[in-house]
Amino acid sequence: MQLTALVEHILVQKDGHLSEVIAEELEISPAHAKELIRFGSVHWCPVLPHVSESREAAMSEADRERYREARAAGIAQHGNNVMLKSAFPCLPAPVAPITSGFTSIFPPKPLIIMQVALLQPKRATSDIDIPEHSYLRVHAQPKRFPAAYSVDWKSRVIHVGEHYVVVSKPPGIPVVPCVCNILESCLACTAQALDADAPLLSVHRLDACTEGLVVLGRSAAFVSAFNKLQLEGSVQKYYRALTLRPPPIGMLVHHVTVGVREKGLPTYTLVHPTEVPGSVRCELEVLSVEAVQLGPAAQALGWAREAHESLIHLKTGRTHQIRAQLGALGLPLLGDTMYAALAARAERRQHEGSSHMDSSRSSTMPVKGLGEADADSSAAEKQGKAAVVEQSGSAFNAAKRDHACM
């Protein structure tokens, strides 16, 4: 069954098994509900979370009363303490695959004692008993990464040490789990390939579309030590990026705002021509650029026969840094629909703005000589370039690429 809502919010009406509550509320099969739990798509807390005054005011009178009664009942039953101890499996146990297309990759794991937040939803990783008045957030359509099942993960493991693992991450899969999917990630798949007794830990990341070496920690002590090395500048990171036209060799310095949000769009990194409040400095160095010939597969995508591959030394590690900086120069990575799309949108908006400005001039300003018109055109062109740089963020999902596209 294909559910219409991406996220479902449920106020539990009676005590019961988690899967049974989900199946009844969402009108899906119990097996499907168990798969959502196993995928990490269900978050819960025994006390209904606090909502802001504005959100409460937006509720209907009946919903507001119901919310207050349920929250008060939960606090009366569990108290207003921050944590509650409960037993959960440290990794999800497998269940038989069903028609929804979910596939098990984890073996059964022993139970451990975890602390569950009373007031903030936490991921449920087993079919637990939940009390009345609990709150559930169900990601009914978890984001999927099919590339996780088309890769021989054992052959991708480059090094296994006592404290860390090095793996060659394929494109099309994230390093860490997302909020609705804990199974299809580099961390989970590498742990499965190594039959690890404990989860691997993230120490740095690559974009889902990026292929390259990733270091994964095996202990909190190593994660702390590696992070310290990164802060000291002792870890050097190099990338290869494919663009249609060659970028300039040398240092590229921009100021960016990370995590920009637009309604209905994924978050992106916004590049500014100069420093603005809240922006951070990002630096990279283009070490070399080489013209390369693209094969038939690339040309089948509509790309040119020739492109340029750059060797890049990343000086800072901002989200989407290479993609955002090159996109700001009008040189988006081939296949990166995120920054190419918004750069094109910015250019289109600037063109429309310039056209409107020219129309206004014709009706309100005297006719100028050729030299004056050329000067205005040059100024508008400079303004347009600045606008493209200002707005060259991400508006769409990135295409899966086999070149670095951080």
- Tell me the per-residue pLDDT of 303-323, one tens digit each, with 9 for 90 and over: 889 999 999 999 998 999 999
Identify any residues that bridge with 285 across adjacent strands, giving them in sequence order. 251, 313
Mean pLDDT of 337-357: 73
Pairwise pLDDT comparison (341 vs 203), residue with the higher score: 203
Mean pLDDT for 183-192 is 95
Taking 60 as the threshold, does the pLDDT of residue 241 lie above it?
A: yes
Q: Give pLDDT, residue 353.
A: 66
| Percentage of residues of the chain with pLDDT beyond 70 | 75
> Quick one: pLDDT band at residue 342, thresholds 50, 70, 90?
confident
Residue 97 has pLDDT above 80, yes or no: no
3-state DSSP assignment of residue 298: helix
Position 355 scores a pLDDT of 62
Check whether 243 has a pLDDT greater than 70. yes
> Contact at 8 Å (CB) between 156 and 144?
no
- Rounded mean pLDDT of 62-78? 86
Residue 5 confidence (pLDDT): 54
pLDDT at 371: 31
Q: Which residues contact 67 (CB under 8 A, 6 or more apart)?
A: 11, 48, 51, 56, 59
**Average pLDDT estimate for 348-372:** 49
pLDDT at 264: 76
Least confident of 124-128, 314-318, 365-369: 365-369
- Neighbouring-strand partners of residue 250: 286
Q: Domains of the chain (ranges plus CATH)? A: 7-139 (no CATH), 146-235 (3.30.2350.10), 238-340 (3.30.2350.10)
Averaged pLDDT for residues 329-344: 86
Query: Mean pLDDT score of the chain, rounded to an integer?
Result: 79
Torsion over CA: 112, 117, 123, 126 (sign):
positive
Tell me: pLDDT of 366 over 50: no
At position 131, the amino acid (one-letter code) is: P
DSSP three-state, residue 18: helix
Mean pLDDT computed over 76-84: 63
104, pLDDT greater than 80:
no
Taking only Cα atoms into account, the Rg of the chain, rounded to an integer number of angstroms, comes to 26
Q: What is the mean pLDDT of residues 127-132?
A: 92
The residue among 356, 317, 355, 324 whose CA lies nearest residue 341 is: 324
